[in-house]
């Protein structure tokens, strides 16, 4: 029995040995014949030692730049020999494995059949092509990024705003420090765009382009250099670095198409700008007066070969300053001693001398004109803070200058020193915005004449409506922000419409362009814009006759609209051809009759009177400054309706009218102001004044000398004025200047200019004109520079200027009395906007703020109560309103404040 047991145990042992031998043989033969099967073992099946597993992984194939996602065989996307890490794709998923601890769950489940990938160091960018059911869908790709870690599984990022088909990628270039993928992706068979992906972020960002003065030609060359499809990532042929500060990088990446400027700064700022055809010469970080850092680059288009140094077209650029980012090259601005104020203004102080450079826009997308100024302060600079330069004289007194005054003011240095900072008494709420108006019962005929339109048949109106509703082929009123005046006439039974310079004819149900007239247009700009054209046109004796109103002429045109005759005429508005071969013209001169053939004047008559009928039962509201009643003649003047001036005279219980068309203002906020002086009536607009005799006949139109320089803003005080009726002098805010209007001499010229600044409203007190000046409001930055706002006191007699520091946001509004809020604009019935010394004009509404020296205000000699300009204690209060150009206002910010002008000193020295 024991013998049989031993035999059985021996047989079992032999069988086990045989089975083990067979297993080894079978495994050996299988490995010899099918090694790839062993390579696709499930990553969760841990059976081998570390060396054996990594040896197997080493046998897997690397994926091609384009790969199928559903392959059964693993395809390696990333392998790190040192850390023994691998990322691979198999059966529609991406896996990560490390031999020290395998991860079985997929990192990413792919939703497409075809994918592409690129590697930059330890970063992967993966794009999957999608085939949407809707052929109109913009979603053509799904993008992922993997960022490898040393000891843990990689970070997976779904790139959220990337929808491009990765199959459209033409090339990928890579960079490090910072790590970047730069992709050129085709839009169609011709055009392409560039994008950048920065590892660790979830966005695929477009790379903006700046062509400089190369414009469309540079862009076309860039398109012609369309890269060929390439699988492997490319390297940039030259990388230039700036001297970076903490947390900053600034690089230029140069390739055959030009240069890409790359910058990262702050907590999370990044910027990318392509300059086609340019190479970077120098890159620096520039610190502005507020301490903010900006990339600043000098570029050259002369030679885009990294071995060349040919000098071509050079330019400076702040790459990330929006559309206006190019400056003409002035290499010295890259130096540290040139301080940056804003993106186009710089200054340098050295041993008492101050140099400034600013750029003025001369094109749509770039700035090129350089304005240089040089000052000699002869004082040492002791402090620079936020654009305020503080100097100290030999007595130890401090004197300050604002860099904005240095950059933009037209005065000399002695006109720019700042006095002490004024202290305002603030109020939580005070309404300062309303413009004074009055209600007068006017003849209805005035409104009928001013706003009357041509009687247009219904079929013509229908055709015009159809023309405006035809989409891209819209003819007349097509822009919601622009209104064009249409002059509609019926000539020889045919309807015509003149819009701007284009003359259209109604032909059937539609309008056809007849031609373009050589006429002058006038533009009024407000929140939108209005465009005005020739006020009348007729056809007579085989020619066209045009009232070219805003060129002060009547012209005769041939059928080809060529000028065949010209007659100078102030503001012609109406034309009429008589049967006897005469042309009658209505203009500021009155009624003029001329011969059709030679345009010679045959008869000149004054402006005819019009029966105005009875006054309306209800009052019509008009601006107080646009109404004046002459108590000597009893005539009323109104300059308020559609570019017209009316004189109304009483005829029993009816009225007679004289009507003059004087044109429109350039600024939509401008109101016409009536200024009586002597026996004449002046109507003041922002750039001209029209003079009438008190009987209503026109005398002359006086255009003002335009201030030189640049003014890209409308002043807050635009149109504000102060009028001294006794001296016949008015002071007017227009654009970036204060104008002195001399009614006696018939002149108007700027006496104070600060380019690209915002002026507040005028107030007159003690022989000075006061107004606020915000020096930085015209810049392209909305950053609140703390020392750019000043109060200016302009001496009327000498023209001397004293400046006082004014807290940011405060804008001069009006002069009040002793604090009870009397409006300086309301000097009496009529003529309501402005301040000044009254007396002498003789009329209801002509009075102005009178200042008699004893602290009590008086009205003018004739015609009513004037506003008080000084209180019983000699105080004169200038009101201010708070305005924020950035749109951000602190919750507890006061909205109004006052300043006692009698208490501010004229000494321009600061406290020691």
Express each pLDDT in 400-459 by its tens digit. 999 999 999 988 899 999 988 888 888 765 555 567 888 888 888 888 888 877 788 999
Question: Which two three-digit tokens encode residue 438?
Answer: 């009055």
Give alpha helix (H) positions in 532-678: none
Sheet of strand 204-206, all strands in order from the earlier edge strand to the far edge: 204-206, 192-197, 180-186, 169-175, 234-235
- CA-nearest of 95, 93, 44 to 68 is 93
Per-residue confidence band for 544, with pLDDT thresholds at 50, 70 and 90: very high
78 within some domain: yes
CA gap 649, 443 in Å, rounded: 11
What confidence score (pLDDT) does residue 30 get? 42
Q: Which H or E element spans position 675? A: strand 673-677
Angle at 694 between CA 688 and CA 700, to 5 degrees: 30
Per-residue confidence band for 46, with pLDDT thresholds at 50, 70 and 90: very low
Per-residue confidence band for 230, with pLDDT thresholds at 50, 70 and 90: low
Rg of the Cα trace of the chain?
40
Torsion of CA 130, 133, 134, 139, to 10 degrees: -20
- In contact, 847 and 860? CB cutoff 8 Å: yes
Q: How many CB atoms lie within 10 A of CB 65?
A: 17
Question: Which two three-digit tokens encode residue 43?
Answer: 């990553």
Residues 231 and 332 both lie in one domain: yes
294 within some domain: yes
DSSP 523: E
Looking at the chain, the whole-number percentage of residues with pLDDT higher than 90 is 51
Question: Which two three-digit tokens encode residue 241?
Answer: 């670095």
**Does 399 score more than 50 pLDDT?**
yes
Angle at 139 between CA 138 and CA 142, to 5 degrees: 155
Instruction: Say which residue, 715 or 870, is predicted with more confidence.
Output: 715
Burial code of 106-118, b = ≥16 C-beta within 10 A, e = fewer?
A: bbbebebebbbbb
- In contact, 836 and 724? CB cutoff 8 Å: yes
Instruction: Say which residue, 548 or 580, is predicted with more confidence.
Output: 548
What confidence score (pLDDT) does residue 584 get? 96
**Does 5 score more than 90 pLDDT?**
no
305 within some domain: yes
Question: Which two three-digit tokens encode residue 13?
Answer: 């042992």
Per-residue confidence band for 766, with pLDDT thresholds at 50, 70 and 90: confident
**Does 48 score more than 70 pLDDT?**
no
CA gap 60, 56 in Å, rounded: 7
- In contact, 674 and 680? CB cutoff 8 Å: no
**Does 47 score more than 50 pLDDT?**
no
Per-residue confidence band for 98, with pLDDT thresholds at 50, 70 and 90: confident
What would the pLDDT profile of 164-208 be if each residue is shown by its tens digit?
999 999 999 999 888 999 999 999 999 999 999 999 999 999 999
778 within some domain: no
- In contact, 689 and 682? CB cutoff 8 Å: yes
Residues 214 and 322 both lie in one domain: yes
492 within some domain: no
**Does 582 score more than 80 pLDDT?**
yes
Residues 72 and 145 both lie in one domain: yes
Torsion of CA 789, 790, 791, 796, to 10 degrees: -130
What confidence score (pLDDT) does residue 843 get? 34
DSSP string of 400-465?
A: EEEHHHHHHB-S-GGGT-EEEEP--EEES-----PPPEEEE--BHHHHHHHH------HHHHHHHH
- In contact, 674 and 848? CB cutoff 8 Å: no
Which of 363, 393, 422 delimits the end of a domain? 422
Question: Which residues, in sequence order, are CB contacts of 146 under 8 Å at separation 6+?
Answer: 78, 87, 94, 107, 123, 124, 126, 154, 155, 156, 157
Question: Which two three-digit tokens encode residue 848?
Answer: 């102005």
CA gap 753, 738 in Å, rounded: 7
Torsion of CA 215, 218, 221, 225, to 10 degrees: -120
**Mean pLDDT computed over every residue of the chain:** 82
Question: Which residues, in sequence order, are CB contacts of 49 under 8 Å at separation 6+?
Answer: none
What confidence score (pLDDT) does residue 472 get? 79
889 within some domain: no
Instruction: Say which residue, 707 or 502, is predicted with more confidence.
Output: 502
**Does 710 score more than 90 pLDDT?**
no
Question: Which residues, in sequence order, are CB contacts of 616 under 8 Å at separation 6+?
Answer: 441, 442, 443, 444
- In contact, 659 and 643? CB cutoff 8 Å: no
Residues 282 and 401 both lie in one domain: no
What confidence score (pLDDT) does residue 15 get? 54
CA gap 494, 479 in Å, rounded: 27
Instruction: Say which residue, 202 or 246, is predicted with more confidence.
Output: 202
**Does 884 score more than 70 pLDDT?**
yes
Mean pLDDT check: name the lowest of 3-7, 220-224, 539-543, 807-811: 3-7
Residues 327 and 388 both lie in one domain: no
Residues 212 and 327 both lie in one domain: yes
| Mean pLDDT, residues 812-834 taken together | 46
Residues 231 and 142 both lie in one domain: no
Per-residue confidence band for 134, with pLDDT thresholds at 50, 70 and 90: confident
CA gap 520, 546 in Å, rounded: 11
Residues 330 and 384 both lie in one domain: no
Q: Are strands 543-548 and 536-540 parallel, antiparallel or unpaired?
A: antiparallel
Sheet of strand 108-109, all strands in order from the earlier edge strand to the far edge: 61-62, 75-80, 85-90, 93-98, 108-109
Residues 216 and 139 both lie in one domain: no
Question: Which two three-digit tokens encode residue 909?
Answer: 């020295």
Mean pLDDT check: name the lowest of 7-21, 678-692, 770-784: 7-21
Give φ, ψ of 334 to 5 degrees: -75, -20
Looking at the structure of the chain, the number of domains it has is: 3
| Mean pLDDT, residues 726-747 taken together | 93
What confidence score (pLDDT) does residue 95 get? 94
| Mean pLDDT, residues 389-398 taken together | 89
Question: What residues does 109 pair with on adjacent strands?
Answer: 93
- In contact, 240 and 254? CB cutoff 8 Å: yes
What would the pLDDT profile of 338-377 be if each residue is shown by its tens digit?
999 988 899 999 888 999 998 887 766 566 778 899 998 8
Residues 118 and 234 both lie in one domain: no
**Does 77 score more than 90 pLDDT?**
yes
Angle at 658 between CA 653 and CA 659, to 5 degrees: 130
Instruction: Say which residue, 857 or 286, is predicted with more confidence.
Output: 286
CA gap 775, 759 in Å, rounded: 9
Instruction: Say which residue, 679 or 37, is predicted with more confidence.
Output: 679
What would the pLDDT profile of 594-650 be if each residue is shown by its tens digit?
999 899 999 999 999 999 888 887 888 889 899 999 988 899 999 988 999 999 998
CA gap 390, 380 in Å, rounded: 9
Which residue segment(s) compose the domain that 404 sits in? 377-422
What confidence score (pLDDT) does residue 801 get? 93
Residues 388 and 323 both lie in one domain: no
DSSP 288: B
**Does 20 score more than 60 pLDDT?**
no
Which of 401, 422, 443 delimits the end of a domain? 422
What confidence score (pLDDT) does residue 361 get? 74
Residues 149 and 253 both lie in one domain: no
DSSP 485: -
Tokens 């869908």 belong to 137
What confidence score (pLDDT) does residue 250 get? 95
Q: How many CB atoms lie within 10 A of CB 910?
A: 18
Angle at 362 between CA 360 and CA 363, to 5 degrees: 130
Q: How many CB atoms lie within 10 A of CB 181?
A: 22
| Mean pLDDT, residues 139-146 taken together | 94
What would the pLDDT profile of 644-660 be if each residue is shown by its tens digit?
999 999 888 889 999 99
What confidence score (pLDDT) does residue 502 get? 95
Instruction: Say which residue, 911 or 501, is predicted with more confidence.
Output: 501
DSSP string of 820-860?
A: S---TT--SSS--S-B----SS-SBT----EE-SSS-EE--
């Amino acid at each position: 029995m024991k013998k049989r047991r031993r035999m059985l145990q021996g047989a079992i042992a032999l069988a086990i040995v045989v089975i083990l031998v067979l297993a080894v043989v079978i495994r050996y033969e299988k490995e010899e014949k099918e090694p790839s099967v062993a390579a696709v073992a499930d990553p969760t099946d841990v059976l081998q030692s570390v060396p054996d597993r990594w040896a197997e992984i080493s046998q897997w194939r690397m994926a091609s730049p384009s790969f199928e996602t559903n392959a059964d065989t693993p395809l390696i996307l990333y392998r790190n020999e040192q850390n023994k890490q691998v990322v691979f794709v198999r059966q529609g998923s991406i896996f990560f494995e490390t031999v020290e601890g395998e991860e079985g769950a997929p990192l990413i489940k792919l939703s497409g059949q075809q994918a592409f990938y690129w590697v930059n160091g330890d970063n992967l960018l993966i794009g999957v092509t999608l085939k949407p059911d809707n052929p109109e869908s913009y979603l053509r790709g799904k993008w992922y990024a993997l960022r490898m870690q040393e000891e843990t599984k990689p970070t997976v990022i779904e790139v959220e705003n990337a929808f491009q088909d990765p199959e459209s990628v033409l090339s990928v270039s890579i960079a490090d420090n910072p790590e970047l993928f730069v992709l050129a992706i085709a839009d169609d068979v011709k055009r392409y765009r560039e994008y950048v992906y920065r590892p660790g972020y979830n966005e695929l960002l477009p790379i903006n382009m700046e062509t400089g003065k190369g414009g469309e030609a540079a862009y076309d060359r860039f398109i012609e250099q369309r890269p060929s499809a390439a699988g492997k990532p490319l390297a940039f042929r030259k990388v230039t670095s700036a001297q970076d500060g903490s947390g900053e990088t600034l690089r230029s990446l140069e390739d055959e198409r030009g240069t890409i400027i790359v910058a990262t700064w702050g907590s999370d700022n990044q910027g990318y700008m392509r300059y086609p055809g340019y190479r970077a010469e120098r890159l620096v970080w520039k610190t502005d007066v507020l301490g903010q850092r900006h990339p600043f680059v000098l570029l050259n288009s002369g030679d885009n070969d990294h071995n060349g140094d040919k000098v071509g077209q050079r330019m400076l650029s702040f790459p990330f300053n929006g559309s206006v980012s190019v400056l003409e090259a002035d290499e010295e601005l890259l130096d540290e001693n040139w301080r940056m104020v804003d993106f186009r203004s710089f200054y340098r102080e050295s041993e008492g001398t101050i140099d400034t450079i600013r750029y003025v826009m001369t094109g749509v997308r770039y700035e090129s004109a350089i304005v240089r100024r040089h000052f000699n302060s002869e004082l040492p600079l002791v402090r620079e803070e936020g654009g305020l330069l503080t100097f100290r004289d030999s007595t130890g007194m401090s004197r300050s200058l604002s860099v904005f005054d240095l950059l933009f003011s037209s005065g000399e240095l002695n006109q720019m020193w700042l006095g002490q900072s004024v202290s305002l008494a603030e109020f939580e709420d005070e309404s300062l915005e309303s413009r004074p108006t009055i209600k007068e019962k006017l003849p209805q005929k005035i409104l009928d004449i001013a706003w009357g339109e041509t009687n247009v048949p219904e079929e013509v109106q229908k055709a015009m409506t159809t023309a405006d509703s035809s989409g891209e082929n819209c003819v007349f009123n097509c822009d919601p922000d622009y209104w064009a005046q249409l002059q509609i006439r019926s000539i020889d039974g045919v309807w015509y419409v003149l819009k701007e310079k284009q003359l259209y004819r109604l032909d059937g149900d539609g309008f056809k362009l007849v031609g373009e007239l050589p006429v002058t247009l006038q533009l009024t700009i407000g929140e939108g814009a209005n465009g005005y054209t020739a006020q009348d046109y007729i056809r007579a004796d085989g020619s066209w006759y045009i009232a070219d109103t805003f060129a002060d002429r009547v012209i005769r045109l041939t059928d080809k609209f060529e000028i065949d005759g010209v007659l100078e005429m102030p503001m012609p508005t109406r034309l009429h051809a008589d049967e006897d071969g005469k042309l009658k013209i209505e203009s500021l001169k009155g009624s003029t009759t001329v011969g059709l053939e030679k345009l010679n004047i045959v008869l000149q008559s004054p402006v005819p009177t019009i029966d105005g009928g009875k006054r309306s039962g209800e009052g019509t509201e008009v601006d107080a400054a646009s109404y004046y009643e002459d108590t000597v003649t009893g005539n009323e003047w109104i300059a308020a309706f559609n570019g017209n001036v009316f004189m109304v005279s009483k005829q029993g219980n009816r009225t007679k009218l004289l009507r003059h068309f004087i044109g429109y203002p350039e600024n939509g906020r401008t109101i016409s102001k009536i200024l009586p002086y002597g026996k004449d009536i002046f109507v003041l607009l922002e750039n001209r004044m029209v003079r009438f005799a008190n009987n209503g006949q026109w005398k002359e139109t006086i255009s003002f000398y335009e201030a030189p320089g640049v003014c890209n803003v409308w002043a807050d005080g635009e149109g504000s004025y102060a009028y001294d009726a006794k001296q016949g002098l008015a002071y007017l805010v227009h654009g970036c200047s204060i104008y002195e209007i001399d009614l006696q001499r018939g002149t108007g010229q700027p006496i104070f200019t600060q380019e690209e600044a915002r002026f507040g409203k005028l107030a007159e007190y003690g022989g000075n004109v006061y107004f606020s000046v915000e020096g930085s409001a015209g810049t392209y930055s909305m950053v609140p520079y703390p020392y750019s706002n000043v109060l200016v006191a302009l001496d009327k007699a000498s023209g001397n200027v004293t400046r006082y520091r004014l807290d940011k946001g405060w804008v001069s509004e009006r002069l009040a009395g002793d604090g009870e809020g009397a409006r300086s604009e309301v000097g009496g019935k009529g003529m309501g906007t402005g301040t000044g010394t009254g007396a002498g004009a003789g009329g209801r509404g002509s009075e102005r703020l009178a200042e008699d020296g004893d602290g009590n205000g008086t009205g003018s000699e004739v015609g009513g109560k004037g506003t008080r300009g000084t209180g019983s204690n000699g105080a004169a209060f200038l009101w201010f309103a708070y305005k924020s150009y950035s749109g951000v206002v602190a919750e507890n910010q006061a909205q109004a404040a006052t300043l006692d002008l009698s208490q501010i000193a004229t000494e321009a020295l600061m406290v020691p």
